[in-house]
Structure 1
C-alpha cells in the first residue's frame, strides 16, 4: 500500500539494498546441526558442559561465535560460549 504512493519499485529496492542477509553456510558443517538444540539451549540453571564439549570439537566454532556476537544472540551456547561469557566478551571489547 505504501508503494503505490511512491515511484514503482522504490520501497522494495530500498529494503533489498539495506537488509543484509548473513552468511549462514557455516551452519551446514557445524556439529550442533547434527546433535539437536537441547544441548545448546538448556533450561535455566542446567549445565552447558555437553554443549561446550561439542563446540570444542567443531571446526565451525569461530564462525559460530562471530555470528552470535555480530547478531547479539542472547540465548544458548554459541561458539562454545554461554550467554554470560559472550556478554563478558562484549563488555571487555568496549
Structure 2
C-alpha cells in the first residue's frame, strides 16, 4: 500500500471510483472524443467517488488537458483556471 511507503500524495488514487473502470470512459481513444453521453457516464462515476476533490485538484495543478478529471471536462477546468487567475477572484466584496 502506498501510504505504508510514506507516499501519501498518491495514496488517494487507490481509493478512486474510476480505478476499476475502463479508462476509455474518461479518455476515449480515436476520433469519437468525449460525447455528451460519455461525459455524463464518466461524471456519474466521479459523482460516487470518495476522492473527487483530490482528483480535481491534481488535474488543475498539473494542467490536465484531456479527459474527465474530478467530475469536470477540459473546458470546465479551463474555465475554473481562468476564474482563479483573475485578480481579486478570492476577494470578498464588502456589503455597502
1:90 pairs with 2:81? yes
Query: Where do 5+ consecutive residues of structure 1 fail to align?
Result: 1-20
**CA offset digits 1:15-67 (Å, max 9, x no partner):** xxxxxx99221111001111121111134252311000110110110000001
1:24 pairs with 2:5? no
| 1:37 alignment partner, one of 23, 28, 51 | 23
1:56 is matched with: 47
User: TM-score under structure 1 normalisation?
Assistant: 0.72
The 8 Å contact of residues 16 and 51 in structure 2, kept in 1 or not, is answered as yes
**CA offset digits 1:58-83 (Å, max 9, x no partner):** 01100000010111111000000000
Aligned length: 74
- What is the distance in 2 between the residues matched to 1:65 and 1:22? 17
1:73 is matched with: 64
1:13 is matched with: none
RMSD (Å), alpha carbons: 1.7
Secondary structure of the corresponding residue to residue 67 of structure 2: coil
- What is the distance in 1 between the residues matched to 2:27 and 2:84? 25
User: TM-score under structure 2 normalisation?
Assistant: 0.71
Secondary structure of the corresponding residue to residue 65 of structure 2: coil
